[in-house]
Structure 1
Amino acid sequence: MDQATTQHAAPASAAAGRNRDIFLRISNHLARVTQIQSALAAVAKEVAQVLPFTHFDICLLDGPDWTVSYEVGIQTRWSRKRARLENSPVRSILCGDLDYMICTNAMEDPRQTFAGATSEPIFNHNLRSRVHVSMNVMGQRVGTLNISHSDQNRFDHDTLALAQPLADLLAPYFHALRAIEKARQDAQARTELQSREEGLRRGASSLTLALEQERQRIGMDLHDQTLADLTRLMRILTDETHPLDRSYLAEAMATSIRDLRQIIEEAMPAQLDLFGLSHALSAHLQKVAQTRAPRACDLRTSLVDNVDFEMDEMLPKDVRTAIYRIGQEAVNNAVNHAGASSIVITLDTDRAGDLVMCVRDDGIGFDTHGRTRRSGLAHMETRARLVRGHLDITSEHGTCVTFRLPLSAQEAPQ
């Protein structure tokens, strides 16, 4: 071997040795981490020594039609949420059509900027030079390793000669870490689902008990009030020693009918079926103002309906009943426990298209220590969960009970 050949071989040998050292350090880093993001950060520091970059990320397949990305340095939309495979700038590699891709200027490369491509980060951060290589595990394509730089013509086939062995080294590690991450997420999702189901079970049990107590209350009202009145009237009618006072009997019967009608209305809101949800809530407000306020003239009530669709046609009966009962409980709490002088119910839709009911009063606020109100809150929360809604209560300058119903989760009424 002549002197020139020896001099040329020496730098190449030194570079190969340096690359081996970097790969060894990468392996040591990966052996000590269990999180994808921390593993990528450790790898990126080593890669930057031989391949300076503006952006470094990996893109992994997440099922047949989706991808998930992890990145360091610049944070872009690529790592914020899952993306459709068909929209990925590296779909040609992920689908197996190519093993690698080198872009001298990705901003002008149709492989990266096709219609529908999630290529905004390329333009937002001037990621002109890009090199992508496949990541494979046991002969199966699992993702891509992606290196980008803001300068044009930064990468070539010499870059590829380093990037592909790096991807081969990283692939099994990141594939395993992703499997661990998904298993952890699935376990967490199962735990949350079990917790929600247990909460719903307890809530439903509490609501069932409340319904049983309500039936008992109705029975006692009928026994102590209506039945007692009718028994008294029967005695008058069958007492032959005294003449009948028809005017007295008519007034007593009218009172019994009115009391019975009120008991029935409490048990089954006829207004809801006859005239609809908005009218039923408005009627309940008027009834509360007339019969429950200590000084009816001091209680101001109103209902504002800004909903731009037919709630009674779109929402199933059980959902409308749940909304009515939540509103009814919130209004009763405002009158019976908060000493409110003003109650306003607002029906509206938010930007997401969800139905929102807000019951706002100017009372003393919400006392979480009150047993009756606490029980009422539990029943409202259970009713909300049973129809896939969400209840929120704030207590500042009065109380605001907000019920939010995602309409996308509702089925059309039968």
Structure 2
Amino acid sequence: MENRSNSNIHLLKKIAELLNEETELQQMLSCALQVLINGTDFSTGWIFFIDKSGGHSLEAYHNIPSSLSEEGCCLLRNGGCWCVNRFRAGKLTKASNIIECQRIEKSITEERGDTGGIVYHATVPLQSGNESFGLLNVAAPEKTHFHDHELALLESVAFQIGSAIKRVMLTKKEQEVALMQERNRLARDLHDSVNQLLFSLTLTARGGTMLSEDQNVKETFSTIQSLAQEALTEMRALIWQLKPQGLENGFGEAVKGYAGMLGMETIVKVEGVVALPSKIEEALWRIGQEAVNNAKKHSGQDCIYFFLKTSPKLVVLQIEDKGCGFQYSPSRSIPSMGIQGMKERAANLGGEFHIDSRPGSGTKITVEIPY
């Protein structure tokens, strides 16, 4: 008993040190799970995150049997199971023996291969205070019951992981706030300095055109005025990129305002109740902003169409212009850094990004992001 207690203390200390050192969430979860499995009699484990709408995602796993790992761990990533359903119903508040693993059961029924002798698993919620983030599941071959000391260890580990998840999330939120504050500061500085200088240059060049009688001088001042006006438009667009004006009034108003500044007409249609998390709304805004830029530069049209549709778990944004289009193939790398950036913004939120374009047929962008 004493040896087991000392071993558990050593294991908890090792996990705590690891959790304190890591700052990247998935790496932290994977390493903590690996240390737990290697330091106990458990042979395999996996971690689910479960969002407020009940959707679950596989965040980490270690040494899972081939029947669960095949096809990108599709049995773990998709569908429901008893432990997730109990968590959603608020019936999982502490470490618990689960009678059977529905996902393992399915793999046996479908003859997917080796299950590692696993039929049952223990599960414990990942919590910090009143917040719950998901589940930690562990299993061992032929094991049909988990002892109290094993469940107590799992609860301690889950508490450590839950606290670390909360810390990482708070740190990330602080970084996002700091980034936004820096963007706002840069936008103010550019508006108060460079933007005003360019505006003054535009007025001066216009005055020079009117005052001079020499045609060559007039043309020179006119060129300066045109270049200054173009730079002023670019500067205002940059300020919008740093600090989108109108986003507080919704996605549609922000897109219309930005496109109008560039001389583009925008038709926006919204379907469903739009109450999106701020990070998703900003990502959609940035994608829409880049689409407007591309349409302005390349489409040859002065109108762009936006259709935003929301459902309880998914937001879909479609952006279309009736311009000249371009040759695009999903199998080839995307040459435009702007388009690549749009794709990455969607991917960072677990979403998908598609382009449909052909010469003479315009361009259609579709973005799907779960939330």
TM-score class normalised by the smaller sequence:
0.3 to 0.5
Higher radius of gyration, 1 or 2: 1
What TM-score comes out, normalization by structure 2 length? 0.46
What TM-score comes out, normalization by structure 1 length? 0.42
